[in-house]
Amino acid sequence: MKLRGLYAITDSQLLAGKFLQYVEAALDGGVTLLQYRDKSSDEARRLREAEALHNLCERYKTQLIINDDAELAARIGVGVHLGQTDGPLTPARALLGRQAIIGSTCHAQLELAEQAANEGASYVAFGRFFNSNTKPGAPMANLELLDQARARLHLPICAIGGITLENAAPLVAHGADLLAVVHGLFGADSAQEVTRRARAFNALF
Ligand SMILES: Cc1ncc(COP(=O)(O)OP(=O)(O)O)c(N)n1
Ligand SMILES: Cc1nc(C(=O)O)sc1CCOP(=O)(O)O
Ligand SMILES: [Mg+2]
């Protein structure tokens, strides 16, 4: 499967009271990857929500990725996204198998991306590219980094951090395969607007 297009990421606060409605609206507009990102420690709720998202993703033929938690990903049978402090890639690959999608946060460091590629990552993520409501303190990345990554890496490149329909096009022009978006997608006033935004993000590729 080609990893290219919109990478929608959930946010439990932003989506409170409209979680599945807004996620389905995004899937309706077209989503390549959907990440379940919940930073709480409510394991029962996390399992329940991840299973609900998995059912929805199967209906829309979208791949589900679990943030941070390789054990939960293994339990459901989906992929995982690991940051630099979320545990090593090699055991996650052994746990999830060769086919699973495993992503790695590389901030603005090509060396981290090369290491992730050697350890079997399916894609590498760089960011943040813009001011982010969701993660304001993340280190900054820039377009030059994307150029260098495109020249040196032979796996899909994901851009993240403050991405909106207004600022996304240069990221794609400089080599991003995946645009990972929380607020610029789900911060909409209606489900119809989420669907419209998802379609518009996909039209950039
Ligand atoms: C696609 C994608 N890229 C980067 C991140 C950030 O991961 P991490 O640095 O582990 O931070 P948290 O998201 O866990 O707060 C991501 N989740 N997804
Ligand atoms: C989860 C996350 N990681 C980032 C990084 O730079 O690694 S930025 C970010 C938040 C993405 O949300 P929004 O689209 O609302 O800015
Ligand atoms: Mg993490």
DSSP letter for each residue of 78-139:
-EEEE-TTS--HHHHHHHH-TTS-EEEE-TT-HHHHHHHHHTT-SEEEEE--S--SS-TTSP
Residue 132 has pLDDT above 80, yes or no: yes
* Distance from Cα 96 to the centre of ligand 3, integer Å: 17
Pocket of ligand 1 (CB under 6 A): 7, 35, 37, 67-68, 81, 83, 86, 103, 105, 125, 158, 160, 180
Q: Is the pLDDT of residue 144 over 80?
A: yes
The ligand whose atoms approach the alpha carbon of 32 most closely is 1
Q: Which atom of ligand 1 is nearest the CA belonging to 68? A: 14
Q: How far is the CA of 166 from the centre of ligand 1 (A)?
A: 22
What protein residues have CB closer than 5 angstroms to ion ligand 3?
68, 83, 86
Location of structure tokens 């909409």: 188
**Relative to the CA of 125, which ligand 2 atom is closest?**
7
pLDDT tops 80 at residue 1: no
Distances (CA, A) of 39 to 11, 45, 47, 131, 156: 9, 12, 13, 20, 25
> Looking at the predicted structure, is the pLDDT value of residue 103 above 80?
yes
Residue-level pLDDT at 41 = 92
Q: How many helices (H) and strands (E) does the chain have?
A: 9, 8
Please give the model's pTM, rounded to 2 decimal places: 0.98
Strand partners for 92: none
Give pLDDT, residue 185: 98
- Percent of the chain beyond pLDDT 90? 99
175 pocket-lining for ligand 2 (C-beta < 6 Å): no
Unique residue bearing structure tokens 């209906």? 59
Mean per-residue pLDDT over the chain, rounded? 97
Does the pLDDT of residue 126 top 90, yes or no? yes
Nearest Cα residue to 69 out of 24, 36, 112 = 36
Task: Spell out where 2-76 has E strands.
Answer: 5-9, 33-36, 63-67
In angstroms, rounded to a whole number, what is the distance separating the alpha carbons of residues 48 and 1? 27
Q: Which atom of ligand 1 is nearest to the CA of 160?
A: 3
Question: Reduced to 3 states, what is the DSSP secondary structure of residue 72?
Answer: helix
User: C-alpha 163: how far from its chain's center?
Assistant: 12
Q: Is the predicted pLDDT of residue 102 greater than 90, yes or no?
A: yes
Structure confidence at residue 146 (pLDDT): 98
Specify the pLDDT at position 29.
Answer: 98
- The structural architecture, per CATH, of the domain 5-203 is Alpha-Beta Barrel (3.20)
Which residues pair with residue 34 across a beta bridge? 8, 64
Q: Is residue 70's pLDDT more than 80?
A: yes
Instruction: Note whether ipTM > 0.95 here.
Output: yes
